[in-house]
Chains A and B, each alone.
Chain A
Amino acid sequence: MSISRRVFIKDGAVAVLGFSALPSFLTRAVASTPSPTGSDPRVLVVLFQRGAVDGLNTVVPFRESSYYRLRPSIAIPRPTGRPDAALDLDGFFGLHPSLSPLLPLYRGGDLAVVHATGSPDGTRSHFDAQDYMESGTPGVKSTEDGWLNRHLQTRPGSESPVQGVALGTSLPRILRGAAPAVAVPEGGRFEVRAGDAAADGLEAMYAGTLDEALRGAGRGTFEAIDMLRRAAPGNRAAEHGAAYPRSRLGRSLQQTARIIRANVGLEVAFVDSGGWDHHVNEGGVEGLLANQLRDLGLGLAAFHRDLGDRMGRVTLVTLSEFGRTAAENGNRGTDHGHGNCMLLLGGGIRGGKVYGRWPGLEPEQLYDGRDLGLTTDFRTVLGEVLVRGLGSPDLGDVFPGFGHNPKGWLGLMT
Chain B
Amino acid sequence: MPQSLRPQGTGAVSPRNALASALLALALLPPAAVEVAAQSVAVSAISSATRFPGGLPIADLSEDEAILHALNRLAFGPRPGDLERVRQMGLERWIRQQLDPESLPDDPVSRRLEPLTTLRMSPAELLERYPSPQAAARRAGLSRDAVQQQAEARQELREELEALRERVEGMGGMPDAETRRRLRELRQGMDGESMGGGPQTIQMELVQAKLIRAIESERQLAEVLTDFWFNHFNVNAAKGSTRWLVTSYERDVIRPNVLGRFRTLVGATARSPAMLFYLDNWLSADPGGAERLEGRSAARARVRVLRGGRPSILGGERRVPDQGRAMRRGLNENYARELLELHTLGVEGGYTQADIVEVARAFTGWTLRAPRQDPGFLFDARLHAPGVKTILGRSIRGGGQAEGDAVLDLLASHPATASFIATKLARRFVADDPPEALVRRMARRFLDTDGDLRAVVEAMVYAPEFWAREVFRAKVKRPFELVASTARALGADVLVAMPLVQWTARMGESLYLCEPPTGYPDLAEGWVGSGALLHRLNFALEIAEGRTRGVRVREPAELRGGADPLDAALARFVGGQVSAGTRKALEERMGSDAGMRPNTIVGLVLGAPEFQRR
Contacts and interface: CB of A to CB of B under 8 A. Distances in A.
B532 A169 contact: yes
Contacts of B502: 3, 8
A7 B443 CA distance: 43
Contacts of A368: 353
Contact of B525 (A188, A213, A223): A213
Interface in B495-509: 496, 498-499, 501-502, 505-508
Interface of B is mostly: helix
B238 A12 contact: yes
B543 to A, nearest CB: 12
A370 to B, nearest CB: 9
Contacts of A188: 169
Nearest to A18: B173
B2 interface: no
Nearest to B35: A210
Interface string B499-540: 101100111101001011010000011111111111101100
Contacts of B505: 8, 12-14
Contacts of A208: 579, 581-582, 584-585
B530 A210 contact: no
B171 to A, nearest CB: 11
Interface residues on chain B, size class: 35 or more
Interface string A92-105: 00000000000000
B173 A9 contact: no
Contacts of A191: 534
B541 to A, nearest CB: 5
Nearest to B613: A211
Interface string B325-361: 0011111111001000100000100000100100000
Nearest to B277: A280
Interface in B143-195: 158-159, 161-162, 165-166, 168-170, 172-175, 180, 183, 187, 190-191, 193-194
Interface of A is mostly: loop
B193 to A, nearest CB: 8
Given A5-B498, A331-B330, A197 B531 contact: no
B503 to A, nearest CB: 10
B283 interface: yes
A20 B32 CA distance: 37
B603 A194 contact: yes
A21 B332 contact: no
Nearest to A246: B162
A299 to B, nearest CB: 15
A336 B510 contact: no
A29 interface: no
Contacts of B579: 208-211
Interface string A146-170: 0000000000000000000010111
Interface stretch (A62-70, A124-132, A406-414): A124-132
B438 interface: no
B333 A329 contact: yes
B174 A21 contact: yes
Contacts of B498: 1, 5
A202 B581 CA distance: 11
Contact of B607 (A51, A187, A205, A336): A205
A330 B331 contact: yes
Contacts of B204: 5, 9
A178 to B, nearest CB: 14
A224 B347 CA distance: 36
Contact of B330 (A170, A182, A329): A329
A387 interface: no
A5 B191 contact: yes
Nearest to B163: A246
Nearest to B193: A6
Interface in A180-211: 182-185, 187-198, 200-202, 204-211
Nearest to B243: A9
Contact of B187 (A4, A211, A335): A4
Contacts of A124: 337, 353, 356
A128 B534 contact: no
B333 A335 contact: yes
B334 A279 contact: yes
Contacts of B31: 210, 212
Given A209-B32, A221-B534, A281-B327, A170 B526 contact: yes
B613 A225 contact: no
A265 interface: no
Given A13-B505, A221-B534, A332 B327 contact: yes
Interface stretch (B14-22, B115-123, B311-319, B586-594): B586-594
A223 B513 CA distance: 30
Contact of B527 (A14, A170, A215): A170
B287 interface: yes
B529 A280 contact: no
Interface string A123-149: 111111000000000000000000000
Given A6-B190, A274-B515, A280-B280, A16 B532 contact: no
A169 B526 CA distance: 9
A4 B191 contact: yes
A31 interface: no
B525 A176 contact: yes
Given A50-B516, A212-B30, A125 B541 contact: no
A197 B604 CA distance: 10
B239 to A, nearest CB: 10
A214 B581 CA distance: 13
A188 B169 CA distance: 7
A218 interface: yes
Contacts of B161: 4, 7
Nearest to A200: B589
A198 B589 contact: yes
16 contacts: A5-B194, A168-B529, A170-B531, A182-B530, A187-B169, A195-B593, A195-B596, A197-B590, A197-B593, A205-B607, A206-B609, A224-B534, A246-B159, A274-B515, A279-B280, A333-B332
Interface of A: 1-10, 12-22, 24, 50-51, 123-128, 166, 168-171, 176, 182-185, 187-198, 200-202, 204-215, 217-218, 220-221, 223-225, 236, 246, 274-275, 277, 279-281, 329-333, 335-336, 368
Given A124-B337, A191-B534, 7 more contacts: A5-B194, A9-B203, A21-B174, A182-B530, A190-B534, A205-B586, A330-B331
Top-8 shortest CB links A-B = A330-B330, A208-B581, A170-B529, A220-B530, A12-B510, A201-B589, A197-B593, A183-B529
